[in-house]
Amino acid sequence: MQSTIGYAAHNPSAPLAPFHFTRRSLLTTDIQIEILYCGVCHSDIHQVYNEWGDSKFPMVPGHEIVGRVSKVGEDVHNFKAGDYVGVGCLVDSCMTCPDCQDKLEQFCNNAVFTYNSHDKHSNTITYGGYSKQIVVNQNFVLHISNKLNLAAAAPLLCAGITTYSPLKHWKVGKGDKVGIVGLGGLGHMAIQFAHALGAHTVLFTTSPNKAEDAKRLGADDVVISTNPQEMSKQASSFDFILDTVSATHNLDSYTALLKRDGTLCLLGLPNFPHPSPAIGNLIFRRRRIVGLLIGGLKETQEMLDFCAANAITSEVEVIPIQQINNAFERMLKKEVKYRFVIDLQSLKT
């Protein structure tokens, strides 16, 4: 066991505060990582506030981790001390079930999430990236290209893969009209990927002041979703809409915008369910609503390499860890542009 420090929530209403804990001793297939940066995902807020009802405390959040390898176990050959690496939402899975065999480890019944999960090796809760170091099985560690800025690469490990994966899975590309709903951490990555894949990309936002940024990121058009006239002009015109909104909202306004056979993909996971969608909107045009959870490790590496090759990156506001509680408040006010990333140098042991 090795001692380290992080920031933890001790219950859903207490602010995050310094917390001393231990990481497991290195197994032969493990990599020990000195954490340099960790992105702040809206899922961290949902879980700290126990909005999904399964939170375990104390909770050290953080699943957008970039760091430097400090030590490797004797059976690790793909990584060495000094390498820059990433860790996303997963740190283990069974590796034998059909989902793992298909490189979709996120759907494994025994997937172990980076925090708020159970580590079978140490029989403890997993603790995430709002901390100085982490120990992870080599199969769940990713290479970070030296073409990527380290702080800006951190959000790719969740916001990046979660938006890249559906666009690839549903084969979005040239000739498609694609909508992105919400310009936050996921949304700003989604615009860049949809644009890079050649789609005509439209942002739906509740924040008119984000329109200029959306165009700079690659949106061809911006629609203010609270304006019914603007929305109705878009009726039945989209092949695919990726909804990244973190709060409960009416889905009918978006299903009505899909063409025949169009797809609305939900990524946000709010604490209360959305109102039941109008079935007529679906059956009269064979439209569908789907959802998706992050992406597997192979695809995450592919996405990181795609970002390095296409100069795609996250726009970040780097903060010291002491500002984390304020960062949560600002995210809830839709003020983040477009991802907070914690600089772990600010956390002294």
> Which sign, positive or negative, has the C-alpha torsion 264, 312, 247, 181?
negative
* Interatomic CA distance for residues 144 and 83, integer angstroms: 8
6 bridge partner residues: 19, 131
Candidates 178, 228, 185; CA nearest to 201 is: 178
Q: Which region, judged by CB under 5 A, interacts with Zn ion, from 10-18, 157-165, 173-181, 212-220?
A: 157-165
Out of 62, 182, 218, 262, point to the residue binding ligand NAP (CB under 6 A): 182
- Helix (H) or strand (E) run with residue 211 in it: helix 211-217
How buried is residue 294: exposed, middle or buried, by Cβ count under 10 Å (0-12/13-18/19+)?
buried
Give yes or no for residue 324 binding ligand NAP (CB under 6 A).
no
The torsion region of residue 175 among left (phi > 0), alpha (psi -120 to 50) and beta comes to left
**Nearest distance from C-beta of residue 155 to ligand NAP, angstroms:** 9
Give the residue from 103, 102, 104, 128 showing the smallest Cα distance to 115: 128
Helix H or strand E encompassing 255: helix 252-255
Kindly tell me which of 47 and 255 has the beta carbon lying closer to Zn ion.
47
Considering the complex, state which of residue 267 and residue 344 has its C-beta at the smaller distance from Zn ion: 267
From the list 28-36, 71-79, 300-308, 330-338, the region that binds ligand NAP by CB under 6 A is: 330-338
Q: Of 111, 148, 154, 245, which lies in the binding site for ligand NAP, with binding defined by CB under 6 A?
A: 245
Q: Which of 67, 184, 218, 262 binds ligand NAP (CB under 6 A)?
A: 184
263 in contact with ligand NAP (CB under 6 A):
no
Residue 8 and residue 19 in contact, taking contact as beta carbons nearer than 8 Å: yes
246 binds Zn ion (CB under 5 A): no
55 contributes a contact to ligand NAP by CB under 6 A: no
CA atoms within 13 A on the CB side of 337: 10
**Helix-strand-coil percent breakdown of the chain, rounded to 5?**
30, 30, 45
Query: Exactly one of 6, 38, 40, 43 binds Zn ion (CB under 5 A); which one?
Result: 43
Question: Taking CB within 5 to 8 Å according to partner kind, which of Zn ion, ligand NAP, none is near residue 132?
Answer: none
Nearer to ligand NAP, 200 or 249 (CB): 249
Residue 226 CB, nearest approach to Zn ion (Å): 26
Q: Among 67, 185, 218, 262, which residue interacts with ligand NAP (rule: CB under 6 A)?
A: 185
The residue among 128 and 262 lying less far from Zn ion, judged by its C-beta, is 128
Give me the residues that bind ligand NAP (CB under 6 A), please: 41-43, 46, 158-159, 162, 182-187, 205-207, 210, 244-247, 249, 267-270, 292-294, 331, 334, 336
